[in-house]
A and B are shown apart, each in its own frame.
Chain A
Amino acid sequence: MKRYNQNNRSKTLFLRLSGFVLAAIVLAGCTKDFKKYNTDQTGISNANLDITSVFKPLQHELFHNYQTAQNLSADGFSGYMMSPTPFKAAYDLNYFLIDGWDSNGFNDMYTYIMAPVNKIAASGARTAHPDLWAVALIVKVEAMHRVTDKFGPIPYSKVGTSLVSTPYDSQHSVYNQFFLQLDTAVNNLQAFVAANPGKTPFQNYDLIFNGDYTKWIKFANSLRLRLAMHIVKIDPATAKLQGEKALSAPGGLMSTPADDAAIMVTGGTSDLYMITHDWGDNRLNATMGSYLVGYKDPRTSIYAQPAADPAVAGTYTGIRIGAALASKNDYEDYASLNTNTTFIPTKPEQLMCAAESWFLKAEAALRGWAGAGDAQANYEQGVKVSMQQWGANIGLYLSDAVSTQAPYVDPKNSANNSPAVSSITIKWDPNASNEQKLERIMTQKWLAMFPEGQEAWTEFRRTGYPKLFTVVNNKSNGTIDTQIQIRRLNYPQNEYSTNGTAVRAAVQLLGGPDNAGTRLWWDVNKGNF
C-alpha cells in the first residue's frame, strides 16, 4: 500500500516539475518563432531594402557571364577577338551555336537588369527619386538593346507581369520604347541638374560616371544617336527624327574621353583580363591584327600584345575565326590583347566611347541629318578622340592615303590564310562615294570602339563594314552563309520549354526561322544609301 503511495507521490512531483518547465515554454509559444527561424538572418528582406544599394550590381551585371554571353560570340563575330581554346569541335566561333552559352546573353539581362529595374519601379522611385529612375532607365535601354540586337523580338513591355508567360515585343516596338524611355531619363536628369546644380547624390552608387548626371545625359543622348542609326535602313524617318533630336539635345553628346561610359571593376579582375590573361581563352582576331598592322596603327601595341609563338614571334598575328584548333597550345601564344598595360585587372569595361559619337555624327552628316556638321571634321575628330582615349600618338595617321588592311598568313595552317578583304585607306577623301566614305567611317569607328564587340558586330551587320575575314570552318549545317556571315543568335531553348507560346509568336515576328542566318528587323538586305 505504502509503496503504491510513494510511487504516486513521486510521479506527481515529477509531472508537476515537468509541468512547470512546460508552462514556461508553452507561454512563450512553441511554433511562434518558426517564422523567425525560417528567415535567413544573414540576408536583407525586401522591407529593409535601401533601393540605392542595388545600383552597383545593376551596372556591373551588364556584362554578366561575359565570356559566354559575349566573348565567345559577338567579340569573335565582330573580328576583334578569337579564342585559342578548343572548347568543343563545334561551337559559336565556327557557327555551331551553343545554347548554354548564348542563352546567358538573354536570360541574365532579365534576371539581373529587368527584374531589379522593375523592383526599383515598384519601390516608388519613379516619383520619389526621378534621378535614380532615370539612371535605371538608361541602364535598362543600354542592356536591352544589346539583347534585341542579338536575338530580335524580345520580351520588354510585359516583363514581370506574369509568372507563366511573357509575350515578346516586335523589335520595332522595342526600339520605340527605348526612345521614349530615353526621353523620360533625359528629362528627369535635366530637371534634377537644373534644380540641384553640382549635386552628386548618386556618387557612391555609380560605377560609370562617379555620380555626374551631366555625363549620364550625354551618354543617354549618344545612345539615342546610336539606336537611331541602327534603324536607318528600315525606318529612315524615325531614325532621322531621333537622330536629330540627339544631335540637338541641350545636354550634348559624348565628345571627349572624359565622357566615356565604362563600368568600374568591382569583382577584383576585369572580365577581359580574366578571360585573356588568367584563363588564356582569348586572343586577337586575325581581322583586327590585319587592320592594325596594315594601317601601322599607333594603337596597335596599346590594344595588342605581340605573339610569343616561335612561328609568328613578335608579330601581331591573331587567330582566324573558325580556325581548326586541335589543342589549346597550338594558338595560345599568338598575338593577344595587351594585358600588361592596357587591359589590366582594374581596366573599366567599356560600354560606349566618345569617339563613337563622332563617327555617328560623321555618318549622320553623310545622311544629311540636321545638326550633324561636317562629315570629314567629325571623322577626323573621331580618330583624334580615340587616339587621345588610348594615349596613342596620332602622328601622320590621318594623312595616310596609302596603307590598307594587311593579308593574313598563318604559318601553322595555310587553310587560315586570306588576302586582305578591304582596300579602304585612312585619309579622308572628299571625292569618294558615300559608300566609300561610309566604309572609311565604319572601319575607323570599329578600330576606335575596341574591345566592345557587341556594338561592333551590330554595326557590321547593318553596314557590312569593316570588311571581315569569314569563318574558316562553318559548322552551321547550312543555316549560316559563310560570306553573308552570322546575323543573329538563336532564342534560348529554355524559352521554348517555359515560355513556348510567346517565343513561337516571336518567331513569327522575326519573319524567318529561329536560326542564326535570319536577318533582324533593322538588318535590311539592301544598299546603305
Chain B
Amino acid sequence: MRKPLQLSCFLVCIAASTYAASPVMTVNGNWSGSPVIAGKQQLKTIQRPVKGTVRDSNGATLIGVSVRVKGTTNGTQTDVNGQFTLNCNTGDVLVFSYIGYSSQEATVGTAETINITLTPSNDQLQQVVVTALGIRRSEKSLTYSAQQINGDELTRAKSDNLINNLSGKVAGLTIAPSASGVGGSAKVVLRGNKSFSGTNQPLYVVDGIPMTNGSNSNGQPNSPYGGSTSVDGGDGISNLNPDDVESISVLKGAAASALYGSQGANGVILITTKKGKAGKAQITFNSSAMASGVAYKPEFQNSYGRTTAKSNDSWGTSAAGQDNLGQFFQTGYNWTNSINLSAGSELAQTYVSYANTHATGVEPGNKLDRNNFNLRETAKFLDQKLTVDGSINYINQQIDNSPALGLYFNPLTGLYLFPRGADITQYKNQYLLGDQTGYARQNWDVSEDIQQNPWWVVNRNPNYSIRNRVLMNGSVKYDFTDWLNLQVRGSLDRTADSYEQDLYSGTQSTLSKANGQFILNNQVVEQKYGDALLTFRVPNTTTVKVDGLVGASITDSRRTGTTLGGGQGLSTPDLFIAQNTIVSGTNSNAATLAENHSQLQSIYGNVNLSYNDWVFLNVTGRNDWSSNLAFTPNGSYFYPSAGLSVLLSHVVKLPSAITYAKIRGNYAEVGNSVPQYVTNPVNYLDNTGSVVLSTVAPFGTLKPEKTKTWEIGADLRFFNDDLSISANYYKSNTYNQFVQVAPSPTTGYSVGYVNAGNVQNSGFEFVVGYNVIHNSNFKWNTSFNGSRNVNKVIDVDSKDGINQFTLTNNNNTNYKSILATGGSYGDIYGYTVKRDAQGRILLNADGSPQTNNGFNYIGNPNPKFQLGWANSFNYKNFNLNLLVDGRFGGQVLSLTQAIMDQYGVSKVTGDARASGGATVNGVNATTGTPVTNVDAKTWYTSIGGRQGISEMYMYSATTVRLREASLGYTFPLNSKGVKSLRLAVVGRNLLYFYKKAPYDPEMTMSTGNGLSGVDIFTQPATRNIGLNLNVTF
C-alpha cells in the first residue's frame, strides 16, 4: 500500500517543481554548444549526421515517421518529438514516409538540418490522432476507436457553445443543448448514460490537462418549477473560443480513456489548441454574424375567450385570438469576431488571439457577451532539447437573463396562458403600475404563482451570470536522448462566478417579498493540476518495437463561495444592494456555500508493443488516491486496460480493392468520481444560527463507481482510400453506483448511501466516408455516422430490496424520472388512464377518465438510433457543406401542451370545441356504454395541467433535421497582403424534415441527470442563419 503511494508522491512532486526546475535547465544549456558543432565540422568529408523535424501541415510534430536514404537500407524513425538524426552523404535523397501522408523526398545539400512538412494523402485527417494525455499516435496503432474533428468543422457554422458543433458529427455522441438561451450549457453523453448519481458527461481535456466544466453556483435545475437560483449559467466548455481549437479528439470508450482512471468512465473529449507555427507569420481574422428566430411556436386556438372577465382560462365564449408570441419573441443575433496572430522561428513560436462574442437571444433581454484572450508561447532551449510551452487564457463572460425553465420566473408561462381574445399589448406597453406599491405594482390581471407578465419577468426579474476565468498552463519537456523525455506540466484553472437576480417590488407574492428581493451568489472554483510524464521508446529495435510512458499527477479542486438571499426581502424597494436586505430577529440571510474540496493523486503507465508494424498491443494501468474516499478502509483504486489491433492489410493478401484493413479489440476498467464528504457528514447551521443535526448516515465503505467495458471494431479502406468504413461494437457495465437511499426515517436517518447497481450500455457505431467525386474541379465527399445504444438498468440495489432510484421527483407535477430495475436510463413516469381489455379508456359519468394509482412508466426519451449525414462539395472556389442528422425513437413529455390544454388556449382545445367535443375511445366505467365524444372542457381540464394525465402528452422524439449548411467562396487572391479570403453563408438547425413533438425533443431543461425528456415552458429551439468571413494576412 505505501510503496506505490510514495512513488505517486515522487512523481507528483516533480510536477509541482515545474517552474523551480526550468531556470536550471537554462544554465545547463551553457554546457553544450560549440564543442559539438566543432566535432561535426571535422566529419564533413565523410558521412555526416543530418537532423531535422517532421511536422504535419498544422505544425504538429509527427512521431515514428520513417526516414530512409533512397535505395539503401539506411534509415531511422522520428522520435517522440518528431525529430530524426541520420548519417548520410551530400547528394543522398531522403524519403519521408508516414501512413496517411504523402511521401516526400528531399536531397541532402550542405545544410545540417532538413525540416519537412508532410501533407495528408487524402481528406481523411484522422490518421494521426491525439490520444489520452495529449499524445499523438498513428491511427494504425490504436486499439480503440477515436474520432477526430478538425477545428474547421467547429467554426464553419458557429454556435454560442462550441460543443454543439459536434452534434451529428461523431458516432455514439449525443448532445442535448440546454433550452436556456444564449450561453447555455450542453449535455454531452458518449455511448449512453452510466451513472445514477455521478456525472454522465465526458471529461474535457485541453492540451493534455483536465479542465473543469462546471456551472455557477446554480448548478442545473432538477425541479419542474425551476426557480430563482436554478437558471443555467453556462458550462465550462462553452467558455472556450472555437477559433483557438486545432482539433477535437473524441475518446468514446473506456480503453481510450483508461489512462484517466477514476475520471475516464464517460469518455474523454480532448481539445488541442493552436500554437504558433515555425517559419510563418500569419494573422487570421474571423467574423461571423448570425440571426436566429424561434424554429416553431406552440399552436393556439383563436376562437374562444376567457370564461369570465377575471378568469385565467380560455374556456369562455367566442373571441378572436391574437398573435401574442409575435409581440414577445424577437430575432436574436450572434456576432463573433476573432483575430489570431501567430509567428515563430524554429526556436520560438507565439500565438495570440482575441475573440469577442456578442449574442442576443430570441427572448428579450437575453444576452451574452464573451471575451477570450489567449497567449501561447513555445520555445526550445539547450540545443533544442528543452521545450517550454506556456499559455494564459483569460475569459470574461456575462450572460443576462438566462431564461428560467419550468413554471417559476418564466415569461413563457404568462405569454402562452394569457387568455385568448384579450389584448396583451397593454401589458407589454405597461408592465409596471407606477401608482401602486408592493405586490400590486405588476400590471397583470392574473394572480398565480406560475405566471407573471412576460415583460415584467424580463425587465423586473432580471438575472446576471458573470464569469471571470483564468486558465494558465505551463509545460517543460526535456529530451534526455532521442528515445527518452520527461515532461512536467502544471496548470491553474480558476473560475470566479457571480450570479445575481433582482426581484423588483411587484413580483408575484409566492416568488418574492413585497419590497422585492435580492439574490447574490458568488463562488470561486479553483483547480490546480500538476503532472510528470516520462516517455520512452526502446531504441534500436526493428521487429518488436516498444514504447510507453509512466506518469503521475495531482489534481486539487476547491469551491468556495457565499450566497445572499431569502430573508425578508428589501428595506427600500428596488434597491439591489446587500445592505438593503433585511432579516428578522437573529436570523441571517447570508450563507457560506458548502466548501467542495477534493484531491486526486494518481500514477499511471502505458506500454505499447508492436510487431513488424502490423500487430499492436497496448496496456495501461492507473492507480488513483482520492481524498473523497478518506474515512474508508480503502482509499486507493487500480484501473487497468488492454487492447490489441492487427493490420490485416499488412499480413494477409486481400483483394486489391482493399487498401487498408484493421481489426481491434480491447477491455478496460475505469471509474467515475464519487462525491466528497459522504464518508463524513457534518451538521450545519441554519439561518438562525442554530445547529441542524445531520440526518445523513455516514458512508464508511464508499467505493468509486466502476465501469467494465469491452469493445471490438474494424477500420477498412477501399479503392485507394476513397471509401472508408469504421465500425465498433461495445458493451459496458457500470457497478458500484453511488445510490442515495432513504432508510425509514424511524431509524433516525433520512438519507443513506450504498454502492450498488448495474447499468449496461451496449451498442454499435459506424462511420462511412466516401470520396464520391474528386477531380481537379469538383469534389464531393460524403460521410455517414450512425450509432445505436441500448441502455438497461440491470440492477438498482437488489441486495437492499430497492429497485427504483428517483432522478427527478415529481414535486406535485405529473412528471417523474425514475431508474428502475429492468428499465433504462431516463425513463419517464407519469399518470396513466385506466383502460378496459379492448383498450378503451374507463370514464366517469361526467366524461373524465379514471386514472391508475401512482406513477407508471410512460416512455423513455433516449433515441434508439442516431444518424448523421455530412456532405462536402467543392467546385473550383466554391464549397458547400450540408449536415443532416436524425434521431430516431424515444418519447418525450410536453407539460407545456398539457397546461395549455388545461387553460383552453391550445389549438386542440379550440378544434374540439368547434367540433362539439373531444373524440375519445372510451367507455362509461359503470354502465359499460361506449363513449366516443366528451365535452371538450371536461376532457382537457381533466387530462391537462401539471397534475393531469401525462400519458396523454407523450410524443415521438424522432426528429430529422438539416443541422448545418454552409456555402462558401474563397476569393482567388494574388495579393501580398491578404493571403486568403473566404466568405460563407451559413445556417444551423435550418429545417425539420420530421418532427412530431410540439417542441424540439433535443432541447433539455437540464444538462444534469434529471429533467430529461420533458418540456415545461422551455424556450423554443432556434433557427440560425448568417455570414462567415475568414481572412488571412
Contact = CB atoms under 8 A, between A and B. Distances in A.
Interface of A: 2-3, 6-7, 9-11, 13-14, 17-26, 30-31, 33-35, 37-46, 49-50, 53-57, 60, 87-89, 100, 106-108, 110-111, 114-116, 118-119, 155, 159-160, 162-166, 205, 264-269, 277-280, 326-330, 332, 345-346, 494-495, 497-499, 502
Contact of B5 (A31, A269, A277): A31
Interface stretch (B9-17, B187-195, B229-237, B427-435): B9-17
17 contacts: A14-B21, A14-B486, A17-B20, A21-B14, A21-B20, A34-B630, A35-B680, A42-B684, A57-B693, A108-B745, A166-B746, A266-B584, A267-B587, A329-B446, A497-B802, A499-B744, A499-B746
A43 B17 CA distance: 34
Interface string B798-825: 0001100000001010000000000000
B680 A38 contact: yes
A30 B12 contact: yes
B601 A280 contact: no
A225 B528 CA distance: 65
B686 A57 contact: yes
A37 B598 contact: yes
Nearest to A110: B745
Given A18-B21, A40-B677, A498-B742, A266 B587 contact: yes
B32 interface: yes
Nearest to A118: B748
Contact of B941 (A53, A115, A159, A326): A326
A53 to B, nearest CB: 4
B356 interface: no
A40 B592 CA distance: 11
Contacts of A23: 13
B686 to A, nearest CB: 6
B775 interface: no
B738 to A, nearest CB: 15
A95 to B, nearest CB: 15
B972 interface: no
A94 B381 CA distance: 83
Given A11-B480, A42-B595, A45-B682, 20 more contacts: A2-B36, A3-B32, A14-B25, A18-B532, A22-B9, A30-B5, A30-B9, A34-B627, A37-B599, A37-B630, A38-B597, A38-B677, A54-B692, A55-B690, A56-B690, A110-B745, A110-B748, A163-B747, A166-B744, A327-B311
B631 A38 contact: yes
A264 to B, nearest CB: 8
A100 to B, nearest CB: 7
B749 A34 contact: no
A268 B567 contact: yes
B109 to A, nearest CB: 25
B682 A87 contact: no
B695 interface: yes
Contacts of B478: 10, 14
A87 B744 contact: no
Contacts of A330: 311
Contacts of A25: 9, 12-13, 16
B14 A22 contact: yes
Task: Sort A-B residue pairs by CB-CB distance and give the 9 closest, nearest first.
Answer: A43-B682, A22-B13, A499-B744, A21-B17, A166-B746, A115-B748, A110-B745, A38-B630, A34-B630
Nearest to A10: B28
Contact of A159 (B481, B748, B750): B748
Contact of A39 (B311, B682, B750): B682
Range class of the B interface residue count = 35 or more
Contact of A498 (B676, B688, B744): B744
Contacts of A7: 480-481
A40 B635 CA distance: 18
B509 A278 contact: yes
A41 B587 CA distance: 21
B691 A50 contact: yes
A351 B690 CA distance: 21
A330 B307 CA distance: 11
B595 A14 contact: no
A29 to B, nearest CB: 8
Nearest to A309: B310
Given A21-B20, A31-B5, A37-B598, A43 B13 contact: no
Contacts of A50: 691
Interface of B: 5-6, 8-10, 12-14, 16-17, 20-21, 24-25, 28, 31-32, 35-36, 307, 310-313, 382, 446-449, 478, 480-481, 486, 488, 509-510, 532, 566-568, 583-585, 587, 592-595, 597-599, 601, 625-631, 635, 676-677, 679-680, 682-695, 697, 742-750, 752, 801-802, 810, 812, 848, 941-942, 947
**Interface core residue of B13, B583, B592, B693 (most chain A CB under 10 Å):** B693
B744 A165 contact: yes
A264 B584 CA distance: 11
A7 B597 CA distance: 41
A30 B8 contact: yes
A324 to B, nearest CB: 10
Contacts of A46: 682-683
Given A14-B21, A110-B745, A54 B8 contact: no
Nearest to B508: A278
B745 A111 contact: yes
A346 B584 contact: yes
Contact of A278 (B307, B510, B593, B750): B510
A43 B746 contact: no
Contact of B631 (A30, A35, A110, A269): A35
Given A268-B566, A327-B312, A498-B743, A38 B447 contact: no
B408 to A, nearest CB: 12
Contacts of A269: 568
Contacts of B627: 31, 33-34, 37-38
Nearest to A162: B747
Contacts of B801: 497
Contacts of B532: 18
A18 B17 contact: yes
Contacts of B744: 155, 165-166, 494-495, 498-499, 502
B603 to A, nearest CB: 11
A160 B179 CA distance: 45
Contacts of A39: 677, 680, 682
Contacts of A265: 584
B477 to A, nearest CB: 11
B746 A155 contact: yes
Nearest to B689: A53
Nearest to B479: A7
Contacts of B687: 267
A166 to B, nearest CB: 4
A35 to B, nearest CB: 5
**Interface core residue of A18, A107, A160 (most chain B CB under 10 Å):** A18
B697 to A, nearest CB: 7
B684 A494 contact: no
A35 B747 contact: no
Contacts of B594: 40, 42-43
A49 B748 contact: no
Contact of B13 (A6, A26, A329): A26
B688 A280 contact: no
B601 A30 contact: yes
A45 B688 contact: no
Nearest to B448: A328
A40 B696 CA distance: 14
Given A17-B24, A326-B941, A497-B802, A26 B35 contact: no
Contacts of A88: 812, 947
A57 B687 CA distance: 10
A43 B266 CA distance: 32
Contacts of A332: 447
B745 A107 contact: yes
Nearest to A61: B692
A266 B585 contact: yes
Contact of B691 (A3, A53, A60, A163): A53
